[in-house]
Structure 1
Amino acid sequence: MNRRTTTAALAVTLASALTLTACGGSGGDQAAADAKQTLTVWAMGTEGEKLADVAKVYEKANPNIKVKVTPIGWDVAHQKLVAAAAAGKLPDVMQMGGSYMTEFADMGALEPVDTKTFQEKDFFPAGWKQGQHDGETYGVPWYVDTRVLFYRTDLAEKAGIDKAPATMAELQQAAEKFQKKAGTKWGLSIQPGGLDTVQSFYQFLYSAGGEIVSKDGKAVANSPAAVKALENYASYFDKGLSEKSVRPGYDVTKDFNNGSVPMFFGGPWIMGLIDENYPDLKGKWAVANVPEDETSAAMAGGSALTISADSEHKAAAEKFIKYLTDTEGQADWYERTKDLPANVNAWKTGELATNPDMKVWKTQMESAKVSPPQPKWTEITSKIDTAIEKATQGKESPKAALDEAQRAIEGLVQ
């Protein structure tokens, strides 16, 4: 899913779509890949805006193909896709986040990927898995996303910290040192509650070896590993190391810049924000892999490119997706957007191969964890959001909060 906005608020029931549509095959003749035709493409957020520029370059090299890109805001993307699927009017090519894939694949709205044209070995495992449903692949990874630790190196020096925390125990020790020795207001910024708090919690959960739903579809939200992770997470609030209140539209980079927050977990786009908005911070911050508990693991995000099952331009759509996801196309897309390439071969040259910061992202992405393919995943994670908030606010113990979430989730898994 796109990381710049939350997704839980987008949840719209698919019941109407499932009953109103009968997707699964084109009702018309298929155009050849190089025949004169127009490809319709929906892309979301910043990607939707940037893709139009790439489409113009593609059209010059492929004069018979007109690529009509429609940018869609993430806040309305889910509703528009559902409505279009119900009406049988999906575009030829769609950007789709992992949380959407199961829903639309399950209703037969997506064309299976040709795994001879697009091969699993060329992509990060987590990116490829997000495009799979029920043993079939429906999405080609376009860009990937994960989380790493951002920290102020200048404040670390003041606090007597000479290297990034390598373990979860060292992370909390560092948070305490930042407060006591460097005078920061907080030690670590993590989300205390509200929508999509789970995305902040994943780094603790996955590193502890926990999950919300297991690979075989069982709810495991209150496993010993999950309880351990939430106890660790909540302890930051108990000790005054993290802020308990939720501020709408909070921008952690502002507090990172003024020094009140010395550490936080963030995505790759934040590097560009810091460089652009706070040039005086250059040389005063760094990124590091998620500190280890049982392991070092973070959430996997990103988007895939999919083809409508009802498209009459599947050959041209596949060719366009190939252009966007091969090594050259991925390197170009990184230069335009700083989105992390999903194609591992794009990391072998240029800045992606030589920049030490990019090595941190690549290492983290290699161990990133994918959310399981559950049609009600948004509803499931909302139960974890609630449990986290109860624990961070001291309303319930981590175990009691997760026991309650477990009971609710058991009725939602499929």
Structure 2
Amino acid sequence: MSRTARTASAALTVALALGVSACGGSGGDDVAADAKQTLTVWAMGAEGEKLAEVAEVYEKANPNITVKVTPVGWDVAHQKLVSAAAAGTMPDVAQMGGSYMGEFAELGVLEPVDTKTFDKGDFFPAGWSQGEVDGTAYGVPWYVDTRVLYYRTDLAKKAGVDKAPADWQEMRSLAAAYQEKAGTKWGLSIQPSGLDTVQNFYPFLYSAGGAILDDKGEAVIDSPEAVTALKEYGAYFEKGLSDKSVQPGYDVVKDFGNGRVPMFFGGPWHVTLLDEGQPQIKGKWAVAPVPAGTSSVSMAGGSSLVVSKDSEHKAAATAFIEYLTDTEGQADWYERTKDLPANTAAWDSGKLADDANLQVFKQQMDTAKSSPSTARLTEITDKVDQAIAKVTQGKASAEDALKTAQSEIEGLVKQ
């Protein structure tokens, strides 16, 4: 599922900023970590349901602490956080994706991470950077995800190929061979247009050495590297290797199972979906790192845990987050949810260490790149979505589409 939400409009953001300034801090002293108290925690989607189970375990070991977990649907999470920030009623702890971080850090409602408690060296670099804004860490990585290549090994052998594609040339050749020799409908499933198309484009963009914004926050989407990536992405549609008209809600897992689609970029949750939903192809598929352009780099996703600046329970909140993100807590969370641990030490034993498919995700996370933490990220990536659609539908060249996106994004980052 997409973990990206719509950001507030400029007018709402200004109003919210004024509201937060008016609210100010809580004015009370921080309660000691072991004092009797109640922590309020918001977590999204399935994580919100599972976290309540973990909270019960934590309460037994810490009888003075009551953890009140509120599950929040991803479809309403952003607006609830916006409203809470404006009213000065943020929970003590909240789950926050990278697409939110820049916005809420800019509004001044997040407490910087206690870097004496949390060591960035314990986490995947891309996981940690998702919680950073302008060099300050506001979120502790809770779980991570990335995209790798899923491919049908049985159909690849039928097409005369016995190994995963290592680079762009091999991937495009395999896509054509799947169609010509194995009789598949398509060669590779990638999104042609619509909301968050950029997530399918990131493995191409990053592997080419491109980016949307550079380290200074300036737009660079029309760089030669980005143009090269979009040309390669568009070639799949131009040559009929990918479908130009994928409908919203399309289920690639089904078509992967029936052989219409032999390759796609997917996240760790697809392992479970395939094992449980497509048992007929067990042993007939595998995962591999993103085929390289100049290198193999995929997108980094996941969520962090943040503490409200107004919280009167910062010490207890920090202790609870430490419990969730240390090696033992991360391994337990994986068993409950199959969310990939952000703490790298959790990968050293158990199923995470023994499962070859999961180790591919770890390998990919070692080089993965996170999206820039900026308050207007969603508006910015929407411009990239539009550029991709122009190319996949044959309405513009990669150069022209990205030149337009560059101009539009420059306007957004300067506002």
Report the TM-score, using the length of structure 1 for normalisation: 0.97
* Residue 208 of structure 2 is aligned to residue 211 of structure 1: no
Alignment of 1:30-179 (within 5 A): 30-179=30-179
Q: Name the amino acid aligned to 1:14.
A: T
Name the residue aligned to 2:300.
Answer: 300
Q: Name the amino acid aligned to 1:92.
A: D
Once the two structures are TM-superposed, the CA of residue 10 in structure 1 deviates from its matched residue by 5.2
Are the counterparts in 2 of residues 6 and 196 from structure 1 also a CA contact under 8 Å? Answer: no
Once the two structures are TM-superposed, the CA of residue 246 in structure 1 deviates from its matched residue by 2.8
Equivalents in 2 of 1:292, 1:381: separation in Å?
23
Are the counterparts in 2 of residues 195 and 382 from structure 1 also a CA contact under 8 Å? Answer: yes
Name the residue aligned to 1:406.
Answer: 406
Once the two structures are TM-superposed, the CA of residue 11 in structure 1 deviates from its matched residue by 4.6
* Residue 213 of structure 2 is aligned to residue 197 of structure 1: no
Q: For the aligned residues, what is the CA RMSD?
A: 1.2
* Residue 284 of structure 2 is aligned to residue 287 of structure 1: no
Q: Name the amino acid aligned to 2:16.
A: A
Once the two structures are TM-superposed, the CA of residue 26 in structure 1 deviates from its matched residue by 3.6
SS state at 2:413 partner? coil
Name the residue aligned to 1:389.
Answer: 389
Comparing 45-54 with 22-31, which one deviates more in the overlay? 22-31
Q: Decide which of 2, 7, 10 is 1:5's aligned counterpart.
A: 2
Name the residue aligned to 2:311.
Answer: 311
Once the two structures are TM-superposed, the CA of residue 66 in structure 1 deviates from its matched residue by 0.9
Name the residue aligned to 2:19.
Answer: 20
Once the two structures are TM-superposed, the CA of residue 134 in structure 1 deviates from its matched residue by 2.1
SS state at 1:413 partner? helix
SS state at 1:84 partner? helix
SS state at 2:387 partner? helix
Q: Name the amino acid aligned to 2:208.
A: A
Are the counterparts in 1 of residues 148 and 267 from structure 2 also a CA contact under 8 Å? Answer: yes
Are the counterparts in 1 of residues 29 and 312 from structure 2 also a CA contact under 8 Å? Answer: yes
Equivalents in 1 of 2:280, 2:287: separation in Å?
17
Name the residue aligned to 2:248.
Answer: 248
Equivalents in 1 of 2:136, 2:214: separation in Å?
19
SS state at 1:212 partner? coil
Q: Name the amino acid aligned to 1:18.
A: A
Q: Name the amino acid aligned to 2:38.
A: T
Are the counterparts in 2 of residues 10 and 75 from structure 1 also a CA contact under 8 Å? Answer: no
Once the two structures are TM-superposed, the CA of residue 61 in structure 1 deviates from its matched residue by 0.9
Q: Name the amino acid aligned to 1:407.
A: S
**Structure 1: unaligned runs, 5 residues or longer:** none
Name the residue aligned to 2:265.
Answer: 265
SS state at 1:412 partner? helix
Once the two structures are TM-superposed, the CA of residue 373 in structure 1 deviates from its matched residue by 2.1
Alignment of 1:348-359 (within 5 A): 348-359=348-359
Are the counterparts in 1 of residues 5 and 78 from structure 2 also a CA contact under 8 Å? Answer: no
Are the counterparts in 1 of residues 6 and 78 from structure 2 also a CA contact under 8 Å? Answer: no
Are the counterparts in 1 of residues 5 and 99 from structure 2 also a CA contact under 8 Å? Answer: no
Are the counterparts in 1 of residues 145 and 268 from structure 2 also a CA contact under 8 Å? Answer: yes
Are the counterparts in 1 of residues 189 and 263 from structure 2 also a CA contact under 8 Å? Answer: yes
Equivalents in 2 of 1:17, 1:187: separation in Å?
47
Once the two structures are TM-superposed, the CA of residue 313 in structure 1 deviates from its matched residue by 0.8
Name the residue aligned to 1:238.
Answer: 238
Once the two structures are TM-superposed, the CA of residue 24 in structure 1 deviates from its matched residue by 6.3
Equivalents in 2 of 1:296, 1:249: separation in Å?
28
SS state at 2:110 partner? coil
**1:88-117 deviations in Å (ceiling 9; x for gaps):** 000000000011111111111011111010
SS state at 2:111 partner? coil
Q: Name the amino acid aligned to 1:142.
A: W
Equivalents in 1 of 2:202, 2:243: separation in Å?
18
SS state at 1:103 partner? helix
SS state at 1:154 partner? helix
**1:138-167 deviations in Å (ceiling 9; x for gaps):** 110000111000011111111111000000
Report the TM-score, using the length of structure 2 for normalisation: 0.97
SS state at 2:69 partner? strand
Equivalents in 2 of 1:192, 1:24: separation in Å?
45
Q: Name the amino acid aligned to 1:201.
A: F
**1:278-310 deviations in Å (ceiling 9; x for gaps):** 222211111000001100001111100000000
Q: Name the amino acid aligned to 1:20.
A: G
Once the two structures are TM-superposed, the CA of residue 345 in structure 1 deviates from its matched residue by 0.6
Are the counterparts in 2 of residues 6 and 195 from structure 1 also a CA contact under 8 Å? Answer: no
Are the counterparts in 2 of residues 194 and 385 from structure 1 also a CA contact under 8 Å? Answer: yes
Equivalents in 1 of 2:366, 2:62: separation in Å?
35
Equivalents in 2 of 1:277, 1:30: separation in Å?
49
Are the counterparts in 1 of residues 5 and 75 from structure 2 also a CA contact under 8 Å? Answer: no
Equivalents in 2 of 1:104, 1:21: separation in Å?
11
Equivalents in 2 of 1:335, 1:150: separation in Å?
23
**1:360-383 deviations in Å (ceiling 9; x for gaps):** 111100100111222111101000
Equivalents in 1 of 2:27, 2:113: separation in Å?
19
Are the counterparts in 2 of residues 289 and 364 from structure 1 also a CA contact under 8 Å? Answer: yes
Equivalents in 2 of 1:181, 1:94: separation in Å?
51
**1:157-191 deviations in Å (ceiling 9; x for gaps):** 11111000000110000000000011000000000
Once the two structures are TM-superposed, the CA of residue 29 in structure 1 deviates from its matched residue by 2.5
Distance verdict in 2 for CA 1:11–1:248, change over 3 Å: farther
Name the residue aligned to 1:332.
Answer: 332
Once the two structures are TM-superposed, the CA of residue 5 in structure 1 deviates from its matched residue by 2.5
**In percent, how many aligned pairs have the same letter?**
68
